[in-house]
């Protein structure tokens, strides 16, 4: 897909499932099950959507999927379905690991940064050997000493090697990466969560990360039980989505299984509706 001078490609690191209750917090199942029907184990289907961005200045990968660290029981627990490794999918699109200039991570939960590293012998090494890996320093700090609640969501094998190899590029707050690519700190889901804005030729895309993981999460008070700061999520989400509706922004959803790209419209009850773009 074109966004001004940028070429955008959604690449999927597979599908998985998580408990529907954990994805919708206090929203009753009777409400969410109409939008996201659960399986017999109460799990809803989710995608691991990664965005490849080619600008005149750089090649960027936004988010890095689940990777190859979930094995055995984990595959059953998450019903993880990956066909081909993400690097092979990128190569098929003409992008070799060494071609990637930047990897932007919204945060370091294990379903967002899995392909940051890959296995070489017994060690985990950066998958993209030349890339600078961009994330908020608050997220990095939280991942080094996770609170009790967040500990299972952080797998150091996904990120320790980034620091050792000198590829880690920590930022504080809002930052421009290359012309037309801006990081915006949001907090909410985690204290260091960030989103990315892409802008070219008068068009704009918002990469929402885990602030709005699926179309069903467009409603302000439908948010994940995983969110560490729910009120912050609701407030930031409301502001960003209203701005996106007004500006006609394109949106990218990391966990929506029906389509990664959408635009917004108002429904007849004053709520927001996703218009998927194939």
Q: Under the criterion CB under 5 A, does residue 193 sit at the interface with Zn ion?
A: no
DSSP three-state, residue 114: helix
Q: Under the criterion CB under 5 A, does residue 210 sit at the interface with Zn ion?
A: yes
Q: Which is nearer to Zn ion, 63 or 210 (CB)?
A: 210
Query: Within 131-190, which residues bind Zn ion (CB under 5 A)?
Result: none
Q: Which is nearer to Zn ion, 126 or 192 (CB)?
A: 192
Residues in CB range of 212: below 8 A, 6 or more apart: 218, 237, 240, 241, 251, 253
Stretch that binds Zn ion, among 8-16, 107-115, 252-260, 265-273 (CB under 5 A): 107-115
Q: Which is nearer to Zn ion, 200 or 256 (CB)?
A: 256
DSSP 25-92: TTS-HHHHTTTS---TTSEEEEEEEEEEEE-SS-EEEE---STT---THHHHHHT-B-SS-HHHHHHH
Q: Under the criterion CB under 5 A, does residue 109 sit at the interface with Zn ion?
A: yes
Q: Which is nearer to Zn ion, 46 or 171 (CB)?
A: 46
Closest approach, Cβ 242 to Zn ion, in A, equals 23
**E-strand spans in the chain?**
2-3, 6-19, 43-54, 59-62, 102-104, 117-120, 123-126, 132-136, 168-171, 175-178, 181-185, 194-200, 203-207, 250-252, 261-266, 272-277
Q: Which is nearer to Zn ion, 97 or 213 (CB)?
A: 213
Closest approach, Cβ 108 to Zn ion, in A, equals 9
Q: Which is nearer to Zn ion, 129 or 152 (CB)?
A: 152
Contact 61/51 with Cβ under 8 angstroms? yes
Q: Under the criterion CB under 5 A, does residue 257 sit at the interface with Zn ion?
A: no
Question: Which DSSP category does 166 fall into?
Answer: T
Q: Which residue's CB comes closest to Zn ion?
A: 109
Q: Under the criterion CB under 5 A, does residue 255 sit at the interface with Zn ion?
A: no
Query: Within 4-43, which residues bind Zn ion (CB under 5 A)?
Result: none
Residues contributing to the site for Zn ion (CB under 5 A): 109, 210
């Amino acid at each position: 897909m074109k966004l001004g001078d940028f070429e955008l490609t959604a690449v999927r690191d597979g599908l998985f499932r998580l408990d529907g209750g954990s994805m919708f917090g206090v929203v009753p199942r009777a409400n969410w099950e109409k939008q996201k029907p659960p399986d017999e184990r109460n799990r809803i289907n989710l995608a691991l959507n990664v965005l490849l961005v080619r600008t005149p200045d750089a090649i960027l990968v936004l988010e890095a999927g689940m990777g190859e660290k979930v094995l055995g029981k984990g595959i059953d627990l998450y019903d993880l379905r990956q066909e081909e490794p993400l690097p092979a999918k990128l190569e098929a699109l003409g992008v070799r690991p060494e071609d990637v200039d930047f990897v932007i991570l919204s945060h370091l939960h294990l379903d967002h940064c899995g392909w940051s590293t890959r296995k070489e012998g017994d060690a985990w090494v950066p998958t993209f050997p030349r890339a600078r890996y961009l994330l908020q320093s608050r997220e990095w700090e939280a991942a080094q000493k996770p609170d009790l609640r967040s500990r299972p969501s952080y797998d150091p094998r996904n990120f320790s090697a980034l620091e050792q190899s000198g590829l880690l590029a920590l930022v504080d707050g809002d930052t421009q990466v290359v012309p037309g690519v801006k990081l915006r700190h949001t907090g909410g889901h985690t204290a260091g969560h960030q989103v990315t804005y892409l802008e070219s030729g008068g068009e704009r895309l918002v990469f929402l990360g885990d602030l709005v993981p699926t179309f069903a999460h467009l409603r302000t008070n439908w948010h994940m039980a995983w969110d560490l700061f729910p009120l912050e999520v609701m407030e930031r989400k409301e502001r960003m989505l209203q701005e996106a509706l007004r500006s006609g922004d394109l949106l990218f959803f990391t966990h929506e299984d029906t389509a990664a790209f959408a635009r917004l419209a108002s429904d007849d009850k004053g709520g927001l509706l996703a218009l998927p773009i194939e």
